Amino acid sequence: MNAVVAAVLIMLVLSLCRIHVVVALIVGAISGGLVAGMSLDDTINAFNTGLGGGATVALSYATLGAFAVAIGKSGLAHALADKALTMVGRQGENSAGKGIRFAIIGLLLAIAVSSQNILPIHIAFIPLVVPPLLYVMAKLNMDRRLVACVLTFGLITPYMFLPVGFGGIYLNEILLANVQDNGINPENLNVMAAMALPALGMLIGLLIAVFFSYRGGRSYDLERIEQTERVDVKYNSKTLFMAIAAIIVAFVVQLWLGSMILGALAGFVLFNISGVVKWKEADDLFTEGMKMLAMIGFIMIAANGFAEVMRETGDIASLVEGSVAAIGDNKAMAALLMLVVGLLITMGIGSSFSTIPIIAALYVPLAMELGFSPLAILALVGTAGALGDAGSPASDSTLGPTAGLNVDGQHNHIWDTVVPTFLHYNLPLLAFGWLAAMVL
């Protein structure tokens, strides 16, 4: 059995059995290495080598967590939640309540989309905005699986369709660059046209989640939310102004220096200087914030170790080559198999951005030989990379929503985020990516 397939399946099965994702990644990586014929020492060494690749991301999330707690201390998100709660009143299921429900969905969707392109802070906004809204959502009986789907859509679709922010990196610096390196001139290719149908598949998945799958209510324990959330947060015009100023400073520093770590630290320091966060509280708040996103950091580090073992096995190439051998001259089957292999790889390593370089070297020549157009090849490779970002236990596009929705322990990462996002996004993306490859 192919080592990559074995490792990914073991990791997914363990995760579905509610084994912690870090443990599932470690066991999956070691199993994959052994299946490939590597010794236990070589497998562990490869895993340890890969751990360093996730250190920067983990530290970034830790400092962003501290910045998030400081913003929570300012009361900015609570001001928004209080306004929503006032509008809801005691009638959570009347027409006004339904209006607030869609307003919350629209707000979270707009912020998630903006976090990829306009204000590229990725998942850092989730622990700022979502926890204070949990009480309001519980009063409205909003299903948190719906919110997870909304957030994941906003974290993925913009980078796979809009060539600005993270989308500029994915579409221009990674997708177009790798396609060019393997023999296609991207000069006259419109990357948005290539990815329009796959993005439409994501949109259809979102609409199904909003209007069909999770339109009904789901009850949550309000007391657990109150125990977890700060109910004594006080805010005024000064603290709200400083929160906005700190966000702007963090954004400017991040763009200026190209570092999320320094951007978050600059925002946190501004909170200290302004007095919103008192100096004697700063250490405890910083530690609290680091703890909040520590799980994401550890999972991302473990995912890098997993990915390194997969590369060392050499079975990623053999997986792709084996698929190529099974294709023959059947274009429809070729497109489907290439997308499925991309899904498996991305679900294992948790990164669409890392999948493109792995698959492009073999996919592009094969697709050219089978007669796919350059635009269809762009769609095929771009979709194969994006497949699996939703629905991967180790992807920050699923870890981020869970970090915000599970602060009170009432939202399971696998069954309430990973499985719903897999079903609503990977399946439509697979179908519409295949359609794009066949019609473009």
Query: Which position has the higher pLDDT, 39 or 95?
Result: 39
Mean pLDDT, residues 139-166 taken together: 90
Instruction: Flag whether 4 is in a domain.
Output: no
Instruction: Flag whether 50 is in a domain.
Output: no
Instruction: Flag whether 78 is in a domain.
Output: yes
In order of 149, 175, 383, 386, 387, the CA distances from 355 in angstroms are 22, 10, 11, 8, 10
For the record, the structure tokens of 284 come out as 């405890």
Give dist(CA 419, CA 265) in Å, integer.
34
Instruction: Flag whether 273 is in a domain.
Output: yes
State residue 268 phi and psi, 5-degree precision.
-65, -40
* Structural domain of 78: 56-166+191-215+222-294
Predicted local confidence at residue 66, as pLDDT? 75
Mean pLDDT, residues 111-121 taken together: 76
Predicted local confidence at residue 163, as pLDDT? 84
Instruction: Flag whether 175 is in a domain.
Output: no
Give dist(CA 36, CA 191) in Å, integer.
37
Predicted local confidence at residue 379, as pLDDT? 92
Interval 285-297: pLDDT, tens: 777 767 666 666 7
Instruction: Flag whether 8 is in a domain.
Output: no
Instruction: Flag whether 34 is in a domain.
Output: no
Query: Is the pLDDT score of 77 beyond 80?
Result: no
Mean pLDDT, residues 265-276 taken together: 81
Mean of pLDDT over the chain: 81
Give 201's pLDDT tier (boundaries 50, 70, 90).
very high
Give dist(CA 96, CA 425) in Å, integer.
30
Query: Is the pLDDT score of 64 beyond 90?
Result: no
> The tokens 């602060």 sit on which residue?
407
Give 232's pLDDT tier (boundaries 50, 70, 90).
low
Q: What is the DSSP letter of 258?
A: S
Instruction: Flag whether 138 is in a domain.
Output: yes
Domain count, the chain: 1
Choice among 16-30, 236-250, 311-325 with the minimum mean pLDDT: 311-325
Are the CB atoms for 178 and 357 separated by under 8 Å? yes
State residue 263 phi and psi, 5-degree precision.
-65, -45
